[in-house]
Chains A and B, each alone.
Chain A
Amino acid sequence: MSEEVEIRDAEARAAAARVADYEHGWSSEIEQEFAPKGLSEDTVRFISAKKEEPEWMLEWRLKAYRYWLTMETPDWAKLNIPPIDYQDAYYYAAPKQKDKLQSLDEVDPEILRVYEKLGIPIEEQKVLAGVEGARKVAVDAVFDSVSVATTFRKELEDAGVIFRSISEAIREFPELVKKWLGKVVPMHDNYFAALNCAVFSDGTFVYVPEGVRCPMELSTYFRINAENTGQFERTLIVADKGAYVSYLEGCTAPQRDENQLHAAVVELVTLDDAEIKYSTVQNWYPGDAEGKGGIYNFVTKRALCQGKNSKVSWTQVETGSAITWKYPSCVLNGENSVGEFYSVAVTNNYQQADTGTKMIHNGKGSRSTIISKGISAGRSDNTYRGLVRVAPQAEGVRNFTQCDSLLLGDQCGAHTVPYIEVRNPSATIEHEATTSKISDDQLFYAMQRGLDQESAVALIVNGFAKEVLQQLPMEFAVEAQKLLGISLEGSVG
């Protein structure tokens, strides 16, 4: 790491020290257009009609909905989930649009203000403000359920990259969407995936054509804004042969008293020699210090490394949500394909996180790396759950897994549940796990040098998570470091 970068790191942490409790706890007033409350075939039809979807899409949704009706709510050992009343939620809410937007200037100023409050990184703000020479980050902003602003479409189009809201893509590129939608995460995959298929309201579609390196990092900000609105995002990213794209997903949610359900589905596809780097910073409302409220984050993320030498790298920093259930996975079908999973999960107060990955090695010479850093504080529970599977035909597979847990205080829990299933003798699988705490020595040493207790804890925790944080693009790394500090405020001492 260069000196300059080090310094910027330090600046970010200093900034973090100044940030107050939960800064995204507000709700902006934008007119909503709701689907009727509750879930039925009519809801599905309403959503599909709103999105002006073709008939095949409606049929697909209805099929998923009917399948979902036959499924049972999953019951996970580690998670303590109050029952969800699916009829007591809205499944569609769109900001009312004046007309079709031609440029960002026409975006509701209220929405722009929301982005500002969210602390969208300066670079992106410049982009939004149209500053010359600003670093190119395309923002496809998802506000509640509908994409309201897309920038840089032109430059992306010149490169041949398709970057659309998924509803637009369904209308404009039906064949491309049809080819891959639901192929990585089938509708019957799990309860929440099926629900998502039926009622997903919007999301993102990216297609990077053969040999194209996407000229900018793609970024989406998800927000949950309407009270009692389940958010069902759908993301599909396809990197054709030799293509490369880096995609950033970040989210915050306003403070609400009632639990909100978020059940997104993300599908990634890489063909020969293609690479997708998918980074997430998740900072949704975690509930208050007594465990009241907060988001239920039940997300299905999966990558299909179909081509030879293809690569998918998942990096996630999970600090928010009352309950997180999430296993970004890689199905490594391609010969010499590579899967990576870098994760930092922080839980405080009464948060519950059950996260990890699955690396399914089907291709010869496929390799995977898993680095998981779990930090538990307060009365929270933090679980790494992972699977590494090697199929009989997959010669020469390698996996390295490192799971480290850090406990702050003696009222929290840290759990490691790794499954290892190997059916080929040439596999080399290594798994290591450790559990530790911040030692009194470390804390005193840092304080003797002048750091107050919270800065000292934040610094040590950032050091603990460094291997993961350094995988993030710079804008995200800075934000993520702030979040770690904020999330752990008041957890020591």
Chain B
Amino acid sequence: MSLLNIENLSNAIGDKAILKGLSLSINAGEIHAIMGPNGAGKSTLAYTLGGRPGYDVTGGSVEFDGKDLLELEPHERAAAGLFLGFQYPVEIPGVSNLQFLRESLNNQRKARGQEALSGGEFIRLAKEKAGLLSLDMEMLKRPVNVGFSGGEKKRNEMVQMGILDPKLAILDETDSGLDIDALRVVGHGINSIMRKPDKAVLLITHYQRLLDYVQPDFVHVLAAGRIVKSGGPELALELEREGYAHIVEAEGASA
């Protein structure tokens, strides 16, 4: 049974239509990558699934883990097990990462009818996940993303993912701004947190390089608001070699 099932999804930001009938199905245990040229609607897809205000759905449906995702508020989607790794993680001055995450996690647990984690349990969990991503525990005591380098922000997103333990992670250009070493650490983090039979990942990326570390089961090409081609890992290599224009033209997509 599919964990995420997107059917014919269309949306608009203001008057501008971005997604135009996108369909995609992801099963538990799978890792999917979406690639595509700038302006194809990759980030829009991520934000729309996250429920960002202003990203109005104009058609289609999204089912997530048996629920109508589009009916849920952003925090309800999070509690249902959807995690969005932001391309540009947001700074929240004065609020420490630990505070932020503990409150988020316990809100999610409460929504799921689970007991809140105690302070000690939470700290142990945070230490473990920070260690996984080689992020200094001290960083987690600092305000959310404030003064973090680009690479630190992205690693912090992965630590958050580890702590919140979602069913589905949608990672929007998590590889951008990372050097080679950081890329390896992040890739390792994604694998150890999310590569499980009951979880799935949707990687949104421009480049093949992250896929060297996180081997996708399926690769899709997004252009002009639709999936124009799907294939296995070899498709990413083909894109890297041939460029998007070639494939997009071949599939006859037009904006």
Binding site for B on A (CB under 8 A): 1, 3-4, 6-11, 13-14, 439-442, 444-453, 455-456, 459-460, 462-467
Contact = CB atoms under 8 A, between A and B. Distances in A.
Nearest to A8: B119
Nearest to A444: B52
Contact of A14 (B51, B96, B106, B108): B106
Interface in B70-92: 73-75, 77-79, 83-84, 86, 89-92
Contact of A449 (B100, B116, B123): B100
A450 B101 CA distance: 9
A444 B104 CA distance: 13
A456 B74 CA distance: 12
B84 A463 contact: no
Contacts of B73: 447, 452-453
- Give the 9 A-B CB pairs with smallest separation, nearest first: A463-B94, A7-B119, A463-B95, A466-B94, A449-B104, A450-B108, A450-B78, A447-B74, A445-B90
Given A6-B141, A9-B99, A444-B50, A450 B107 contact: yes
Interface in B88-136: 89-96, 98-108, 111, 116, 119, 122-123
B107 A451 contact: yes
Contacts of B197: none
A8 B103 CA distance: 11
Q: Secondary structure of the B side of the interface? A: helix
B208 interface: no
A456 B53 CA distance: 15
Contact of B74 (A4, A448, A466): A448
Contacts of B60: none
A13 B89 CA distance: 23
Nearest to A465: B94
B123 A3 contact: yes
Given A446-B100, A455-B107, 11 more contacts: A440-B54, A444-B74, A447-B75, A447-B78, A448-B75, A449-B160, A450-B79, A450-B108, A452-B75, A463-B94, A463-B143
B112 to A, nearest CB: 10
A445 B95 CA distance: 13
A303 to B, nearest CB: 27
Contacts of B79: 450
A452 B107 contact: yes
A449 B78 contact: yes
A4 B100 contact: no
Q: How large is the interface on B (under 10, 10 to 19, 20 to 34, 35 or more residues)?
A: 35 or more
Contact of B98 (A6, A453, A463, A465): A6
Interface of B: 50-54, 73-75, 77-79, 83-84, 86, 89-96, 98-108, 111, 116, 119, 122-123, 141, 143, 160, 164
Contact of B104 (A8, A451, A460): A451
B164 A450 contact: yes
A463 B141 contact: no
Given A446-B100, A450-B164, A451-B103, A467 B94 contact: yes
With most chain B CB atoms within 10 A of its CB, the pick from A444, A446, A449 is A449
Given A450-B78, A460-B92, A7 B86 contact: no
A226 B211 CA distance: 71
Give the one of A442, A456, A463, A467 with max B CB within 10 A.
A463
A445 B86 contact: yes
Given A450-B79, A450-B105, A7 B100 contact: no
Contacts of B100: 446, 449, 459
B92 A446 contact: yes
A445 B94 contact: no
28 contacts: A3-B119, A3-B141, A4-B119, A6-B98, A6-B141, A7-B102, A7-B123, A10-B102, A14-B116, A440-B54, A446-B92, A447-B75, A447-B78, A448-B50, A448-B75, A448-B84, A449-B78, A449-B101, A449-B160, A450-B104, A450-B108, A451-B103, A459-B100, A459-B103, A460-B95, A462-B94, A464-B94, A465-B94
